[in-house]
A = this chain, B = another copy of it.
Amino acid sequence: MRYELYYWPDLQGRGEFIRLALEEAGASYVDVARKGKRGMVAMMKILQDRRDKRPPFAPPFLRAGKVVVAQTANILHYLGARIGLSPRDEASRLWAHQLQLTITDLVVEIHDTHHPVTSWLFYEEQRPAAKRRTKDFWRYRVPKFLGYFEKLLAKSGGNYLLGTKLSYVDLSLFQIVGGLRYAFPKRMKRFEKKIPRVIALHDRVQKRPRIAKYLASERRVAFSQWGIYRYYKGLDQ
């Protein structure tokens, strides 16, 4: 199966969670909208297709033959089973998906640190609100979310969140750690001492041959000020 991934071309965003899974699995895929102007046109055509009975609400979405799946966690749930990145039994698959949905919640909260008021204002126009949001995010939310994953790693019975075998959830948690390091280098450096297992998982993922190769390639979009994770000095005290 040759998968077609559709996502905005110039940012990691939510598409990156899918890219990491496809890359780790060595799956055959095209990152359609990154294939020049024609790719972008193809993506917009699907989004605006009036005859499509099951149109995606927004990117990312994945085309696998005739099936089009949207919503990041849903794509990973679908894809994971097909490319060997999720467990075999139904209860464990639901569990993996549940964790991915928790990461989805965290992603929204990370984005909202720099744009709490609205996405239709620049960061500079909502700086005091962003500072307040970021303070509470690091005080209450990061410890709760990453503390949860740390606890899970302590009891999973293996090196990965689900035990001895890597799943797409591990790849997503790797991406979260990288993103927080990019956006909040100082804060994250201090916090990492509290989540040694999460950091060890990050390092383990980073060293996997296919992931290492991908990260060094042009296929990996760089972190930037357009994504979920943005660096603002004022937020990283």
Contact = CB atoms under 8 A, between A and B. Distances in A.
A70 interface: yes
Contact of A67 (B69, B91, B119, B145): B91
How many copies of this chain sit in the oligomeric assembly?
2
A107 to B, nearest CB: 11
B94 A74 contact: yes
A121 B129 contact: no
Interface stretch (A22-30, A96-104, A229-237): A96-104
A194 interface: no
Contact of A94 (B69, B101, B129): B69
B155 A133 contact: no
Nearest to A69: B94
A132 B136 contact: no
A175 interface: no
A121 B132 contact: yes
Interface string A57-78: 1000000000101110110011
A28 B185 CA distance: 50
Contacts of A191: none
B148 A133 contact: no
A81 to B, nearest CB: 10
Interface of A: 53-57, 67, 69-71, 73-74, 77-78, 91, 94-95, 97-98, 101-102, 105, 108, 112, 116-121, 126, 129, 132-133, 136, 140, 145, 148, 151-152, 155-157
15 contacts: A53-B155, A54-B95, A55-B151, A55-B152, A67-B91, A67-B94, A71-B102, A74-B98, A77-B97, A116-B117, A116-B118, A117-B133, A120-B136, A126-B129, A129-B129
